[in-house]
A and B are shown apart, each in its own frame.
Chain A
Amino acid sequence: GESVGLHLPTLSVQEGDNSIINCAYSNSASDYFIWYKQESGKGPQFIIDIRSNMDKRQGQRVTVLLNKTVKHLSLQIAATQPGDSAVYFCAEIPNFNKFYFGSGTKLNVKP
């Protein structure tokens, strides 16, 4: 598979547990934030987004929390499954068509 997961922080969780993946962003002017999932050897896949005027958004089994005071974003995955094993990274968008991606966290789900 691809080596994109090398040297990344790793979060190991038991199947069925909840996972929390964190991301710090740098630009306080960023208006939009996105979480992506990237499986080995594949392109990133959009998971969920949140605008800067919100502090929480829920999707199917996922919740994104935004704390603008400390410039922190988190992704919560409920009832983590083996298929959730991947690299997860956030992106901040300060202006149109400019994305800044974090380096990612590798999620390892143990059966």
Chain B
Amino acid sequence: DGGITQSPKYLFRKEGQNVTLSCEQNLNHDAMYWYRQDPGQGLRLIYYSQIVNDFQKGDIAEGYSVSREKKESFPLTVTSAQKNPTAFYLCASSSGGRHYEQYFGPGTRLTVT
């Protein structure tokens, strides 16, 4: 089955620790995205990547980092510099021909205490 996966579904970390969220897709999509979702708010773009080895900051990139070494993978690291890291994180991908149609993963709920 083609799709986009995120792991783990729930993640708990202590304040001050970096944590990496996984995102993998086997849809052969060129573009991948990371969003953050907070209760009562719309999705906000953290980072996106249109091709391998290239990525761009979104609207709320501070305190986050990404890499795109493989087309299938776009991991997100939440660093200790992110002031409010507890949130629901969503990864998405889209193809070059239909970049408007983003396919989302199931999300990772990160709780930092």
Are A46 and B103 also in contact (CB < 8 A) when A97-B50, A101-B42, A103-B42 are?
A: yes
The size class of the interface chain B forms with chain A is 20 to 34
A96 to B104, CA, bound (A): 18
B102: A residues at CB distance < 8 A: 46, 99
A58 to B31, CA, bound (A): 27
Number of A-B contacts (CB under 8 A): 63
A7: B residues at CB distance < 8 A: 39-40
A44: B residues at CB distance < 8 A: 43, 90, 104
The size class of the interface chain A forms with chain B is 20 to 34
Decide: B99 and A97 in contact? CB cutoff 8 A.
Answer: yes
A42: B residues at CB distance < 8 A: 106-107
Q: Which residues of chain B in 97-111 are interfacial with respect to chain A, using CB atoms and an 8 Å cutoff? A: 99-107, 109
Decide: B43 and A97 in contact? CB cutoff 8 A.
Answer: no
Using A2-B109, A3-B39, A99-B102 as known contacts, list a sample of 10 further A-B pairs with CB atoms less than 8 Å apart, ordered by residue number in A.
A3-B88, A6-B39, A7-B40, A42-B107, A43-B6, A43-B107, A44-B104, A89-B42, A93-B100, A102-B42
